[in-house]
Structure 1
Amino acid sequence: MKKFIYLFLLSVSFQYNADAQPASTDKNKVMDFFQNQQFEEAVNYLTPAATIDSQNIQLLGYLGYAHYMDDNTKMAADYFRKIIAINPDNISALQYLAILTKNDKPDQALQYTRRLIYLQPDKAAHLRSMGELFKRKDKQDSAFVYYNQAYILQPKDFKNGVGLADILIDNKKFIRADSIIESVLEQDSVNIPFLKLRVRSAYIAGDYQNVRIPGERLIRLQETSLSALTQVVVAYFNLKLYTDCIRVCEYLIAQGYAVENIFYFEAKALARIKQFDKSNELLKTCINLSISKEAEMYYYNLGINYEALRQYKKAIAQYDTANYLFKNPIMNFNSGRIYEINLKNMQQAQKYYTKYLALAKPVEADEKKAYQYLKERWGKKKPVAHKK
């Protein structure tokens, strides 16, 4: 948290002249304000002096820093720009401006960072910052160039390794990414950022077996990264290790991540081990959390579970709800199939099949085949007469 970062190098970095400290300000008093995090008081103390001595870089730097630490980013940027107007090569002012503009004005941040690289070409932090800016702009090739240069300069700085490995994974260059990651984990097997990267690399590569070890280490370290551990959940599910999938889901839920995706995968895993009632409860939780497009999958899986339990009317109710909310004709097909095959109610089967045939536009080969079969069998038939 930036409030606790000591930046008292400002007394050197922003100093234009060692003897330029105005008589109207006391450097020790300014440092006391900063150390006690009295940034508003520092602003009130320094502003009159800066108004009189508007070319004093040290005063402008103090005010920029005080506003920055007080979360007044606009005023902070204004003071740092005043410094740049006086001295375009002031490193500290350029660094702050690059930080202050990287989210809202990334093109300006690129200019400031490019100037820093020109002034300090061998400083890996500037190269890494440039890589981050290009990555945010989705310019992967440029991002790679700068992350790679930063890593070459300082391979032992883990931030450089993280940045380069991350961009390599994005570009699916898994061999080099894994080489960087493993070189760190060999020295520090509990390095959380690199464990997350190892999970991500293996997951994106579809190498689910190699998700397991770093994933379990993250859990033992009580790490709660939703992104990384969701990948662990999916990996266990795809490996058909359903009890492990459920265990990781329960861990995330216990850590406060009661989100749809986790409940959904736990529900699917429970269904695979025939615990349909528990699965249904979690699917209902998913539905309650969000009636969205994803809810169609939840209703659909509820229907499948009820079919497996031979509770056919409940299964049809789920398909009906899904069809009502999302207008997917395949749900009518599912209901018709149950009425035809399981409940032997041909009148209701024809009702649902007719709705399906009227609206369906099959794309997949299997559905096209089923559609043609239904059209031939049910499409031209007259409704079954009601029994008197």
Structure 2
Amino acid sequence: MKKILFFIFLLLSCRFLKAQSNVDQEKLLDFYQTQRYAEAAQYLQSIYPANTKDIKALNQIAYCYMMSGKLPEAEKFYVQINDLQPNTLSVLFSLANINTKRGNTIAAQLYLLNIEKLDSTNFKVYKLLAGLTDSIKLKVSYLKKANKLNPIEPDVAYDLAFELKNLKLFEPAYQVLKVAIEADTSNFILQRAQLPIANELKKYKEVIAVGERLLQNGGDANVIKDVGKAYFYLKNYQKCISLYTLLEEMSLQNETILYYMSLSYRELKNYEMASKYAKKTIDEGISVNTSTYYLLLGGIYEINNQLTSAVAAYKKGLTFKENPSIYYRLGLIYDLKLNQKQNALKNYNFYLKNKPDAEKEKEQMDYTKSRLADLKLAKK
């Protein structure tokens, strides 16, 4: 029996050595150097038997397929390795990476959670898990664990601070970025991320000091916005206006920017400009689609035969923007449902005066013109 076992062992050893000796290392190296990974994988498969249990060979083949972008083939070989040699971190990471790239988030998470069980101090696994979850609670938990393991890693510090800021946890967010910035004082991305948080914590002088340095190094619109806000709260209204005027000149203003400009002009007793920017703030705060939304609401009321509410919704929509379709609907309601012919005439006329799309609304326009003629004739 011992002789038989020895013979089998010897036979397997010979096959292993033969496979190794048959690999043309120069040819394989050429495949790698020219990044022909798919050819390298096929070459290796031609050397090793299909049922090989050689972990090193399987790893090489799997890696080549992954590098060539042939992810299903790569996964097949990595799964085979995982079956033969379970709980190898590098293999689990590769399987998680492949499933992430293929959009199989659940499988990727399971592989990463398996790694966490094996190594709860693995920074990379928490960073990857954070990127795969839609749960804010879980994302923050994973990012906190990763940040605790490596508090100066900038990507995790940035992501954690971003999530904490959204949760209104400004002081923890500020501290996370502070540690990472102290380790890399030239990291402008982290400094930019800290500015709005520092503003929330009323660290206005710090925002201005850091922000002005960033502006000298090509700071973006968000930096201008944050620095301008800090100047406003320190009552340097002219400086706030100067910075926010830059944003307006670049067409990067928003409702908040215009609001602070109006307030600044008011504090400087320039009431004419304060009024001008108050009006701009109102205009900016109104969506170009608001009248369309009221058109939708009015239509729902109309279908449900809530005519008073429908008319009110349509009229509200017109206070935001003149909309030909609203005038048309009002004309129909007054004409056909409320029997208010004078109001119908007025709204039909407004519909045509607002120049509806002649091609898209030809049928409505033809009907309106015909109905106007009938109503005018009946009036006589």
Q: Superposition pairs for residues 255-270 of structure 1, below 5 Å? A: 255-256=183-184, 258-270=186-198
Change in CA separation of 1:231 and 1:95 when aligned onto 2, cut-off 3 Å: farther
Whether 1:189 aligns to 2:124 is: no
C-alpha distance after superposition, 1:185-205 (max 9, x if no partner):
112111233232223223xx2
Equivalent residue number for residue 252 of structure 2: 328
Give the aligned residue type for 2:33.
L
Contact 2:23 2:47 in 1 (8 A): no
Equivalent residue number for residue 218 of structure 2: 290
Change in CA separation of 1:259 and 1:160 when aligned onto 2, cut-off 3 Å: same
- In 1, the alpha carbon distance for the partners of 2:141 and 2:197 equals 20
Deviating 4+ runs (over 6 angstroms):
12-16, 350-357, 366-369, 372-376
Equivalent residue number for residue 96 of structure 2: 165
Contact 2:228 2:244 in 1 (8 A): yes
Change in CA separation of 1:256 and 1:94 when aligned onto 2, cut-off 3 Å: farther
Contact 1:199 1:231 in 2 (8 A): no
- In 2, the alpha carbon distance for the partners of 1:344 and 1:366 equals 33
Contact 1:168 1:176 in 2 (8 A): yes
* Aligned mate of 2:41, from 95, 99, 113: 113
Of structures 1 and 2, the larger Rg is shown by 2
Whether 1:130 aligns to 2:65 is: yes
Aligned CA-pair RMSD: 4.2
C-alpha distance after superposition, 1:30-86 (max 9, x if no partner):
xxxxxxxxxxxxxxxxxxxxxxxxxxxxxxxxxxxxxxxxxxxxxxxxxxxxxxxxx
- In 2, the alpha carbon distance for the partners of 1:118 and 1:342 equals 81
Whether 1:101 aligns to 2:39 is: no
Q: Superposition pairs for residues 270-281 of structure 1, below 5 Å? A: 270-281=198-209
- In 1, the alpha carbon distance for the partners of 2:172 and 2:26 equals 51
Equivalent residue number for residue 240 of structure 1: 168
Which structure 2 segments of 5+ residues have no match?
1-16, 53-57, 294-317, 323-380
C-alpha distance after superposition, 1:321-347 (max 9, x if no partner):
3345x3435598456533565545233
Identify, as 1 or 2, the structure richer in helix: 2
Change in CA separation of 1:247 and 1:339 when aligned onto 2, cut-off 3 Å: closer
Q: Superposition pairs for residues 1-388 of structure 1, below 5 Å? A: 90-102=23-35, 108-120=36-48, 123-134=58-69, 142-147=70-75, 149-154=77-82, 155-202=86-133, 205=134, 207-222=135-150, 224-256=152-184, 258-291=186-219, 295-324=220-249, 326-328=250-252, 330=254, 333-334=258-259, 337-338=262-263, 342-349=267-274, 365=289
Percent of aligned pairs with the same amino acid: 14
Give the aligned residue type for 2:178.
E
Which structure 1 segments of 5+ residues have no match?
1-11, 17-88, 103-107, 135-141, 377-388
Q: Which moved more, 1:333-342 or 1:143-152?
A: 333-342
Does the residue aligned with 1:110 lie in a helix, a strand or coil?
helix
- In 2, the alpha carbon distance for the partners of 1:298 and 1:200 equals 26
* Count of aligned positions: 271
The TM-score, its normalising length taken from structure 1, stands at 0.56
Equivalent residue number for residue 65 of structure 1: none
Contact 1:196 1:228 in 2 (8 A): yes
Does the residue aligned with 1:290 lie in a helix, a strand or coil?
coil
Change in CA separation of 1:256 and 1:355 when aligned onto 2, cut-off 3 Å: same
C-alpha distance after superposition, 1:65-124 (max 9, x if no partner):
xxxxxxxxxxxxxxxxxxxxxxxx63533442343233xxxxx33322332244345503
The TM-score, its normalising length taken from structure 2, stands at 0.57
